[in-house]
Chains A and B, each alone.
Chain A
Amino acid sequence: MSRLQPTQTDLVPGEAVALSETLNAAMPKTARFRMPSGHPMEWFAFVFLAVLIVSSVFVEFIPGLVRASFPYGDFSQGPEWSLNGLFGTDALGRSILSRVLYGARTTLAIVSVATLISLVIGMILGMLAGFYRGPVERIVDLYANSMASLPPILVILALISVTGNSVFTMMLALGLLDIGTYARIAKGGVIAQNDRDYVLAARAMGASDMRLLLREILPNLVPALTAIVPPLMAGLIITEGSLSFLGYGIPAPAPSWGGMIASSTDLLSRFPLLIFGPIVAIVLTVYSLNTVGDCLARRMNHRGREL
């Protein structure tokens, strides 16, 4: 390939249509679901998340697993090859694995609800800002930018001082954090679509603004938004973990990953493996969420190119 000639490997639009006719002829009527592209680490991410979610929801039904609050064994035992002792025991003799799983339930629940709050509010604000522009856009931008400039921890501490330490507070506090990000993405997606022919065609049919937003524009925002949910959730897990570590999370004795790390810090010099369990849980969960997010983003790009 001549270094100096501008490369143009795009097909001329007409050619793309002719070729895709051929390819489309073999496609079934409904779109095919495509599994992640074969890389084993991606499979691991999906499987891990699935296992984590299922086992944290049904943790009571796992046969042989002791309760998180039950001091069943010796103190500060290292990990061993048994169900309860997989991550060892903590300073009070409780199974760390069990505490990790119960903590997972709490963490996942908090982060899921928080994401839902952020997503819904962010999407609404972003769609209104992108569709109507003008003063609405300016207000939403102002909100998003100011939220982005404040350190999240401060915001949350302020909220906690008002409503106290509880699961509800955490959900609300974390929910406030990512509204700006979702709003910005939604706004960008809406602005990109405002002048597209299919939106104009719907307007020519007499569609109301609400109908345009919900029926025409929103479905095309879904790929971008779903691709970004997992990484943002991963961020919330770390934030929640940090807060629990600092003692502002759910109060003890409810297990939480950050809290478990916090309570082990004094004993770390003698029993370093006490933090093994919660650390592994956080790292693997954050990794898996980010990888799943990458997969979704890739699928979104593929789908776009297909058109």
Chain B
Amino acid sequence: MNDEPSGQAIDAGAATHAFDTFLRDDALLKVRDLSVRYRRGGKIFVAVDGVSFDVAPGETLGLVGESGSGKTTIGRALLKLLPKADTRVDGHVEYDGLNVADLSASDLRAIRSKLQMIFQDPISSFNPRRKVQDIVGEGLEIQGIRKAERLERVDRALNDVGMSRTMVEGRRPHQFSGGQCQRIAIARALAVGPELIVCDEPVASLDVSVQAHVINLLQDIRQKRNLALIFISHDLAVVRNVSDRVAVLYMGKIVEIGTGDAIYQRPAHPYTRMLLEAVPVPDASRKIVPSATPTQALSRSAPPSGCRFRRRCPRAQAVCAAQEPKLAAMPYGQFAACHFPHDEPAPGMKTAEQA
């Protein structure tokens, strides 16, 4: 396997060895030090700042964060879908051993069929003036697959999502509901035979009942085809359900990354805790004691010195402003970038022992 660049400066000591183990050698997708900067109105905004992670075949990695965290930008950067103007992408993305940046145009097109994307708003992810069956077969047509085989693969993809060609024949996107459109979008991604699908908030605009269908569908397909998924979402409950591992993003950086169990039961980073506590849970016994805190203006082009979260963090101390924390190993196997990480279980969470 290829050597990994030792790009990121790592704290000396026990953390060094542990840090390397979350970046695995046999991963399908390796992202090292990915940065995305864009210029708007003369100022430079850093959307993604030195993010590293990897995804193994058949694994689901959840990317959670709020607006401004950079999670959507990461998804687009991986598929090279960012606008070319006024945007700068740095870092190293390796897919199946190949450095994505170094590929020729034709090789890049070949890789395109392996990496696909599903978008948030299903209806607007389709060209309103084209017919649905053309849309689903588009990827195959671009690859030059002949019509007979194309039709067969389109049929198979539609069947996998619980639809058939007769259902979609002759119809345009606006004639379908949100849930159906999302299923068609999944079929479109499946038709080209991908190995990894980036799902960018795929269920955010769907009702709860439809959401459940689509999530179950994704799970089925993932199992059947051994797909790797990068699941980008702000909905922590959904991410918990679909992900094997989870990365928590804040202002363009990964603040915590680990298995779903570790993140949800023993979150180490204060931001992760804040997110988990804020999630509304439909539980009868819940008793919420409201705290009215004044809000703060946060500037996106000038993040605070040291740890970016320190202004909102209840545990911040002087060192947090002076030195930016690096990702370090935590007792339960995850990695968190914090000078004062939590150690106790999250309140209200059942741990593996108690469950």
A307 touches B205 (CB 8 A): no
B139 touches A205 (CB 8 A): yes
B79 touches A204 (CB 8 A): yes
Please tell me if B123 contacts chain A, counting CB pairs below 8 Å. yes
B174 touches A196 (CB 8 A): no
Please tell me if A211 contacts chain B, counting CB pairs below 8 Å. yes
Q: Provide the B170-183 mask, 1 if CB < 8 A to any CB of A, else 0.
A: 11111111100000
Say how far B245's CB is from chain A's closest CB, in angstroms. 23
Say how far B8's CB is from chain A's closest CB, in angstroms. 28
B170 touches A205 (CB 8 A): no
A24 touches B178 (CB 8 A): no
B85 / chain A contacts, CB cutoff of 8 Å: 133-134
B119 touches A200 (CB 8 A): yes
Please tell me if A17 contacts chain B, counting CB pairs below 8 Å. yes
B116 touches A31 (CB 8 A): no
B127 touches A24 (CB 8 A): no
How many angstroms from the CA of A131 to the CA of B313 in the assembled complex? 43
Partner of A219, one of B129, B142, B174, B178: B129
Closest to B180 in A: A21
B80 / chain A contacts, CB cutoff of 8 Å: 203
A27 / chain B contacts, CB cutoff of 8 Å: 175
B81 touches A207 (CB 8 A): no
Q: Provide the A23-47 mask, 1 if CB < 8 A to any CB of B, else 0.
A: 0100101110000000000000000
Known contacts being A30-B170, A220-B129, is A24 close to B123, with CB within 8 Å? Answer: no
A208 / chain B contacts, CB cutoff of 8 Å: 142
B127 touches A206 (CB 8 A): no
Query: B107-115, B156-164, B220-228, B315-323: which lies at the A interface?
Result: B107-115
Say how far B136's CB is from chain A's closest CB, in angstroms. 11
A219 / chain B contacts, CB cutoff of 8 Å: 127, 129-130
Say how far A125's CB is from chain B's closest CB, in angstroms. 18
A24 touches B175 (CB 8 A): yes
How many angstroms from the CA of A196 to the CA of B85 in the assembled complex? 16
Please tell me if A14 contacts chain B, counting CB pairs below 8 Å. yes
A29 touches B170 (CB 8 A): yes
Interface centre among B85, B129, B192 (most CB of A within 10 A): B129
Say how far A194's CB is from chain B's closest CB, in angstroms. 7
Please tell me if B337 contacts chain A, counting CB pairs below 8 Å. no
Interface centre among A197, A202, A216 (most CB of B within 10 A): A197
Say how far B167's CB is from chain A's closest CB, in angstroms. 11
Partner of B127, one of A30, A194, A211, A220: A220
Known contacts being A21-B177, A195-B83, A220-B127, is A200 close to B109, with CB within 8 Å? Answer: no
A222 / chain B contacts, CB cutoff of 8 Å: 129
Please tell me if B121 contacts chain A, counting CB pairs below 8 Å. yes
Known contacts being A24-B174, A204-B79, is A197 close to B125, with CB within 8 Å? Answer: yes
A206 touches B83 (CB 8 A): no
A17 touches B129 (CB 8 A): no
Please tell me if B99 contacts chain A, counting CB pairs below 8 Å. no
B112 touches A204 (CB 8 A): yes
Please tell me if B76 contacts chain A, counting CB pairs below 8 Å. yes
B170 touches A17 (CB 8 A): no
Please tell me if B244 contacts chain A, counting CB pairs below 8 Å. no
Within 8 A of A (CB), among B99-143: 108-109, 112-113, 115-117, 119-121, 123-130, 138-139, 142-143
Closest to A207 in B: B142
How many angstroms from the CA of A21 to the CA of B210 in the assembled complex? 14
A13 touches B205 (CB 8 A): yes
Partner of A198, one of B127, B169, B170: B127
Known contacts being A20-B174, A307-B174, is A216 close to B127, with CB within 8 Å? Answer: yes
B174 touches A306 (CB 8 A): yes
In the complex, given contacts A24-B174, A197-B121, what are 4 additional A-B residue pairs having Cβ atoms less than 8 angstroms apart?
A: A29-B171, A198-B125, A203-B81, A205-B113
Please name 21 pairs of A and B residues whose Cβ atoms are closer than 8 Å in the assembled complex, sorted by A. Answer: A14-B205, A18-B177, A21-B177, A29-B170, A194-B83, A196-B124, A197-B119, A198-B124, A200-B117, A201-B185, A204-B112, A204-B115, A204-B116, A206-B108, A207-B142, A219-B129, A219-B130, A222-B129, A307-B124, A307-B128, A307-B174
Pairs of residues from A and B, 6 with the lowest C-beta to C-beta distance, nearest first:
A206-B112, A197-B125, A205-B139, A206-B109, A29-B170, A219-B129
